[in-house]
Structure formats: C-alpha cells, structure tokens
Amino acid sequence: MLGNEAIAHACVEADLDFASGYPGTPSSEVVDTLRRQDVRDFYIEWSVNEKVAFENALGAAWTGVRSLVTMKHVGLNVAADPLMTSSYTGVKGGFVILSADDPYAHSSQNEQDSRLYAHFARIPCLDPAGVQEAHDMMAAAFPLSEEFGLPVLFRPTTRVCHSKSDVELGEPGQGHRKGNFEKDPKQYVVIPAHTRVLHKKLNEKQDALAKRLVELGYNTYEIRGKTGIVTSGIASEYVKEIVPDDVSVAKIGAYPIDEEWLAGFVSKHETVLVVEECAPVVEEVVRQVAFGTTIYGKKDGYVPYEGELDPASTAAAFEKAGILYNGSFPADSSSVEGLPPRPPILCAGCGHRATFYAMKKVFGKKGIYPSDIGCYTLGLQLGAVDTTICMGASITVGSGIANSGEENPVVCTIGDSTFLHTGVQGLINAAYNNANMTVVILDNRITAMTGHQPNPNTGVTAMGDPSPSISLEALCRSCGVSFVEIIDPYDYVAMVETFRKAKEAQGVRVVISRQPCVIDARRRGIKRKSYFVDTDACTGCGICVKFGCPAIEFIDGKASINALCSGCGVCAEICPQGAIRSEVKR
C-alpha cells in the first residue's frame, strides 16, 4: 500500500470528521484517497490555498471534531500565519497538520524542513520512518492533539508518502462527532490581553509534552557500545540496515525532544554521529546536551546538508566518522556519462505549449517571462519561463519588474489553479498600481500537475458534487482590468492576433488561454483525428521540431508524427510548407 493511502486509512481508523487541503507533491494522495472512499462519513474539501485549508480545519477543530489539513512543505509557508497562533489558541477536537517534506526537491522549489515550523510554533511534530509507522503515528496523532489541546504537525517525506510496503491496518472507527462551537473569547480571540496568557500556557505544556513523546515510544534508544548514532525519520531505516551490533542507536520519531532523556544517551558514548535528512534539527539538540562526547553531523560536513540519504550515503557518513558498517557499497558506481537527458516535458497536444509558442512569436526574445508553479513551468524548455519562485509569484514578480523601469515587455504565465491560489491578489495589486504588463492565464480547468484535482474553476467539488464554476474573465474585470481576452490555444492564428493586440495596449492586459488539460480530455473521451507529415512536401526546415511536441520526431532529415499525437493541429498551422495534415493516411 502507498504511504499516503496508509496515512488516509489511519485517518479513517481515527474517526476523522473533517479534512481539507491544497494539492502538492508528495502530499496529494491523502485527500485524494479520502475523497474517493466508497463510504465517506466525514466532510472533505480541496481548498483554494493552504492558508484557507488550514483555517477551515482549525475552525472545525474548535467545534470539537477531529480535523486534518494536508499540504506540501512549501504550502506550510502559505499557512504559517494561522499556524503560529493556532498553538496559542489550541484546539478542542484533534487537529493534525500534514506537511510533506521533499528532500532532494524531487518535485519542489526547495528542501525546507517542516520540523522547524513545529519548533517555531512550539507544537508536537511526528516524523515517521516508513509506511507502517506513518500509519500508526497518524492514527495516534488525533488523540495526542486532544491530550495536549495542541495542533500536531505530521511530517512525512517523499520516500514515506510515495513508498509502498506491506502494512497492517486497523478497523475504521465508528464514533463520529458533530461540531458544537462553544464561545470562549479568552481562547479564540487573540487580543493582546488574551494572547499573553495563552503564550504562557503554551510554554508550560512543553516539558510534559517532551516526556510524553518518550513514554509513547516515539523516541527510543538502545545502548550497545561506546559509539552511538542518533537518527530520525526515514534516515533511521538506512541506519538500521547497515548498523553493526556494537553501535548504539537512538531513534527520534517525535519532537520536542526531551533533552534530559537525550543527554542520558549522549553522555554514555565517546562518539555520536547524527544522521537525518534536511535541516540539522536533531543535531542542534544533540550538540546542546553533549558534554565531552565528540559529535559528528551535518554541521561539520560528516553528513550531507542537501538532498536525500540512502544506504550508501549513510555508510559513507559512518566511514568518515570511523564507524564500521554492514554491507558493501561499490565506490565506482557512477552513472554513464554523455547520454542524452530525458527531462519531463509537456504532453503531446498540451495547450500550454501552443500558448508559449505564440507568446514568444509575438513578444520575442526581449520579452520578460515570469512564470509560476505547475506543469507549465516546463515552458522553460521553450525559453518562455524566466522566473519561478513560489505559488502566485508570476504576476507580482512581473509587476515588480514592470514598475522597476525595465522597458522590455513583461508577459507572465500562471495556471488557473495557481491564479485562484494566490495569483488573484497580485492581479488586484498590478491593476491598482497601473503596472504595464500582460498576464496570461493558462486555463486548463483543473489542477493538473498534482494528479488532476478539481478547483473552483472545474465545476465540481472534491466530493464530486456540482458547484458553480468561477468566471475568470468576470473576476479579472472586477479586479480593474479592462483588457480581458479569451483565446483557444489550438487556434494558433487567432492566438497570435490576440497577443499582438495585447502588445499594443497599455496597463494590465489579461489573456485567458482556455483548453481542457489533454490528459483529462482524453479520460473524458474527447478524441481528435491525428495528423501526419506529407514527406514530399516536408523540406526538413525543423520549425515543427523546435515546437517541442513529443509526437513530432525528426528522422533522416524529415519530420514525422508518432502515435502520441492527440490531434491538436497546432503543428499544422506553424508548418510553413503546409506539409502537416489531418486524417490518417498510413
């Protein structure tokens, strides 16, 4: 079973009443699994962003129900505002914040460590080492939250979320609660007079909390010699795989760490190596409690700071620290060099590619192209993405550049889900401050990259109920934008015409490029005739190849179209020879 599915099952076992989230790899399958349950006796939603999702779930927890909010690590930045004060107010029903970290940034813009957020907010954090433990910890997270009246941060990593393993599940729970909000302004209205009291109460919980996490068996150690390893999360699995019998191991599965307990372990060893992924969270505490013990870790270069660990890199850290290990890892196992790379690319027939192509045609090499987070970040390969930093930042970075005195045209791209996430505020700001720029909304009606989750633009909720589909054009106009045009990315000629019009206009111009995601369209049975190249007419100029569609190949000096063709027809419009035609000849 997939880690995220096991986590979702644990929520059902714990009688979850309320769930919300915003999709983000590697967290998305938790809500996707929950919303697809045959029998679902809890409320669930995809929210428009993580802050909204967090506050929804927090409100629910204040009514006494058990609630869950899910996001990826960078989503917690968006939700950091309510997080930092939710520890003061506390909760009544169990409240679990799932924030999935992504060491090695497999599908992310950074490698930040959610454990630091738990430390910052002074709430408990659970750090599972594998699928079974993720399941067990999630089921126990709700009662833990209720016991201390605090939100619990649950922090799996990519190799837990997207790992599969045999797993023992429990029975679904039976005792649901109904929300009942009891007014208590001293708890829920954080005016200065209240919050000072709440802050003190929060601090007073810490010692008991740290001790309780040891009692619950999340933080354990076994003393077997004079050398010790302190490890956490999935890194502890790599340690277990290679550690010899005479080396002690302390495993950290939850925070805050009881410093007295940890000092008890560290002081019994001459040497301690700390092995963990992401930030040196455990290492900081180990160094703080160590007197006379030599400590090795990230801070002195014994364990890599960046990326993810595996058995071989863990063994390398052991070796560097002079600790023997089990197993052998060949030193000369480097990859073959000089192979052509195979990066992910936009699908054949993806409307984004055509939009980028037309955009570049009109605004040229001098155009400045801020972009955003989504499949369309792959527009980088088409030279149509110049910046990406975080969700919603295309419009804001764009208006900043436009108002900096830069004279070249600014054309930013943002997907529909990202626009509704945090892009719309940027548009309001750009229109308000008279920025001179073009905003292209790549509207494929769905949150595609993370697995096709619905959003307010899709016309359906996470539960599958119909809901009013938002009008992006009306929304943009009401932000104060008067130039709002809608284009079909499969109509190349009209698209170029609209971009030319936008180029000549002043102020904020919005162009909405609308065509359903090609994967989603195929699933819904939309079929188009594929295209072929008339090899007699093809001169081998290579223009269609530069378009970068995976359905177009270049063999023996001529273009050809393979079975991936979805029939969008854009290549036929850009071929100067008219050599690409519809209908199958083969």
Binding site for other proteins (CB under 8 A): 25-26, 106-107, 130, 159, 162-166, 234, 237-238, 240-241, 308, 310-313, 315, 326-327, 329-330, 332-336, 339-347, 375, 377-378, 381, 449-450, 545-546, 548-550, 552-554
Rounded distance, CA 213 to CA 216, Å? 5
> Measured between alpha carbons, how far is 296 from 320 in angstroms, rounded to an integer?
9
In the complex, what is the shortest distance from the CB of residue 544 to other proteins, in angstroms, rounded to a whole number? Answer: 9
Q: Which residue has the tokens 């909010």?
A: 69
Question: What is the Cα–Cα distance from 312 to 232, expressed in whole angstroms?
Answer: 17
- In angstroms and rounded to an integer, the radius of gyration of the C-alpha atoms of the chain is 27
* Distance from chain centroid for Cα 505: 36
- Between 46 and 148, whose beta carbon lies closer to other proteins? 46
Instruction: Residue 159: name the closest of 203, 104, 120 by CA.
Output: 104
Q: Of 469, 464, 500, whose CA–CA distance to 485 is shortest?
A: 500
Closest distance to other proteins from the beta carbon of 33 (Å) = 13
Q: CB of 160 within 8 A of CB of 131? A: yes
CA–CA gap between residue 314 and residue 296 (Å, rounded): 13
How far apart are alpha carbons 329 and 319 in whole angstroms?
11
Q: Tokens representing 547? A: 């378009």
Only one residue has tokens 């991936």, namely: 564
We find the least distance from the C-beta atom of residue 260 to other proteins, in angstroms, to be 30
Q: Which is nearer to other proteins, 480 or 550 (CB)?
A: 550
Helix (H) or strand (E) holding 415: strand 411-415
> Minimal distance in Å, beta carbon 123 to other proteins?
27
> Of the two residues 103 and 409, which places its CB atom closer to other proteins in the complex?
103
| DSSP H helical ranges for 479-568 | 492-504, 518-523, 543-546
Q: Are 275 and 229 in contact (CB under 8 A)?
A: yes
Q: CB of residue 342 vs other proteins: minimum separation in angstroms?
A: 4
Evaluate whether 16 touches 67 at the Cβ level (below 8 Å): yes
Which residue lies nearer to other proteins by CB, 179 or 548? 548
Query: Closest approach of Cβ 233 to other proteins, in Å?
Result: 10
Q: How far is CA 20 from its chain centroid?
A: 15
Nearer to other proteins, 313 or 429 (CB): 313
Nearer to other proteins, 241 or 491 (CB): 241
- AA letter at 303: V
Q: 295 or 442: whose CB is closer to other proteins? A: 442
CB of 110 to other proteins, least distance (A): 15
Q: How far is the CB of 347 from other proteins (least distance, A)?
A: 6
Angle at Cα 169 formed by Cα 11 and Cα 239, nearest 5°? Answer: 95
Give 149 or 548: the residue with its C-beta nearer to other proteins.
548
Question: Which residues have C-beta within 8 Å of that of residue 264, sequence separation ≥ 6?
Answer: none
Identify which of residues 247 and 510 has a Cβ nearer to other proteins in the complex.
247
- CB nearer to other proteins: give 26 or 370: 26
State the amino acid at position 14 in one-letter form.
A
CB of 175 to other proteins, least distance (A): 30
Residue 543, both tokens = 């223009």
Report the distance separating Cα 229 and Cα 303, nearest Å: 12
Whole-number minimum distance, CB 164 to other proteins, in Å? Answer: 4
